Amino acid sequence: MSASRYLSDNSNPESPGDPLNGSFNSTMDRFLAAAISYATVLGSGAYGVVFKGELPNGTLVAVKVLTNAHDKRMKEQFMAEVSSIGRTHHINLVRLYGFCFDPTTRALVYEYMENGSLDKFLLGDQMAIDGHKMHEIAVGTAKGIAYLHEECEQQIVHYDIKPGNILLDQNLRPKIADFGLAKLCNRESSQIPMTGFRGTHGYAAPEMSKPYPVTYRCDVYSFGMVLFDIMERRINHDMDLKSQCRGYHSAHGTFYRMTGCWRWFAGFLRVKERRR
């Protein structure tokens, strides 16, 4: 098999070093044998399967192995993920350690997030998270989005902000993941042409389904929907369409939820101010 290729020049300069550190600059067989434990599947979907793995130095990783390696759309999403998150480093973005671009296999190696995704907590599948910690998760997610939009050399629009793409580490610190739909943008160009629907129904901004250019504000809209989820402890896309129209997406429902979100944030800000 051909040699695998890995990111090495985007590691955190303040960290002890890149966990890959060139260890897998070899064949796909050696890469899979060293990085993946097939006994532990973290998740799966139309994109492929995510395995829990361990590098030779003991670092735990999540390895996303994409199916349909020759599919044009899958290849585009793979390249979008590598080109976008490979340029970033922020405490609220999941870290990409490396990738394999093999003729038969596409694989991405990420830092392992012990507590999985936020949606599991909102659905009640995991332990309950108190309001103060939920507030910290919301603020951390906002910081990650702000970094993508304002602090990267090239602006990055994620296009799919939702609880399932917000991962939590062992300290419940949020990190935005899944950049398969992301776009790199020049700051001078405020609008991005759309060739088809992107994102997840229930979180995607209304303009995402229209044949019009969009801006980074579509991520802000999606984040607002995530705030509704956090405040109400439920998942928007699990609701049926009629419920969405009566609730989240109606002007009347949105007004009351926006008011509730503001009170929620303001309440925590007042508590923090009193503690100082």
**pLDDT tens across 164-218, in order?**
999 999 999 999 998 877 777 765 555 665 555 667 888 988 888 777 778 889 9
Using only C-alpha atoms, the chain has a radius of gyration, in whole angstroms, of 19
- Assign 99 to helix, strand or coil: strand
For residue 41, the model assigns a pLDDT of 85
Residue 123 forms beta bridges with which residues? none
DSSP 8-state symbol, 186: -
For residue 24, the model assigns a pLDDT of 40
For residue 205, the model assigns a pLDDT of 87
Span 96-116, average pLDDT: 85
User: Choosing from 160, 178, 219, 229, which is the catalytic residue?
Assistant: 160
For residue 252, the model assigns a pLDDT of 43
252 burial (CB, 10 Å; 0-12 / 13-18 / 19+) is exposed
Q: How many angstroms separate the CA atoms of 261 and 43, rounded?
A: 31
For residue 166, the model assigns a pLDDT of 97
Helices (H), 36-104: 72-85
Q: What is the pTM of this model?
A: 0.76
Whether residue 19 is predicted with pLDDT greater than 90 in this model: the reply is: no
Query: Chain-centre distance of CA 225, in angstroms?
Result: 15
Q: How many angstroms separate the CA atoms of 93 and 44, rounded?
A: 21
- Assign 17 to helix, strand or coil: coil
Does the annotation mark 160 as catalytic? yes
Backbone angles phi, psi at 15, to 5 degrees: -85, 165
Whether residue 89 is predicted with pLDDT greater than 80 in this model: the reply is: yes
For residue 222, the model assigns a pLDDT of 93
For residue 210, the model assigns a pLDDT of 78
For residue 36, the model assigns a pLDDT of 58
For residue 11, the model assigns a pLDDT of 34
Residue 155 forms beta bridges with which residues? 185
Domains, the chain: 3-111 (3.30.200.20), 116-271 (1.10.510.10)
Average pLDDT across the chain, whole number: 74
Q: What pLDDT digit, counting tens, does each position of 109-167 carry?
A: 899 999 999 999 998 766 788 888 999 999 999 999 999 999 988 889 898 999 999 99
Top pLDDT among 18 and 80 is at 80
For residue 206, the model assigns a pLDDT of 86
- Which pLDDT band, with edges at 50, 70 and 90, does 237 fall under? low
Strands (E), the chain: 41-45, 48-54, 60-66, 96-101, 106-111, 155-157, 166-168, 174-176, 183-185
Whether residue 251 is predicted with pLDDT greater than 60 in this model: the reply is: no
Distances (CA, A) of 172 to 110, 129, 195: 17, 9, 36
Q: Is 52 annotated as a binding residue?
A: no
Span 91-120, average pLDDT: 87
- Which pLDDT band, with edges at 50, 70 and 90, does 71 fall under? confident
Residues 6+ apart with CB under 8 A from 3: 25, 26, 27
- Which pLDDT band, with edges at 50, 70 and 90, does 12 fall under? very low
Return the closest-CA partner of residue 153 out of 182, 183, 127, 186. 186
230 burial (CB, 10 Å; 0-12 / 13-18 / 19+) is buried
Span 25-49, average pLDDT: 65
Q: How many angstroms separate the CA atoms of 254 and 110, rounded?
A: 36
For residue 90, the model assigns a pLDDT of 94
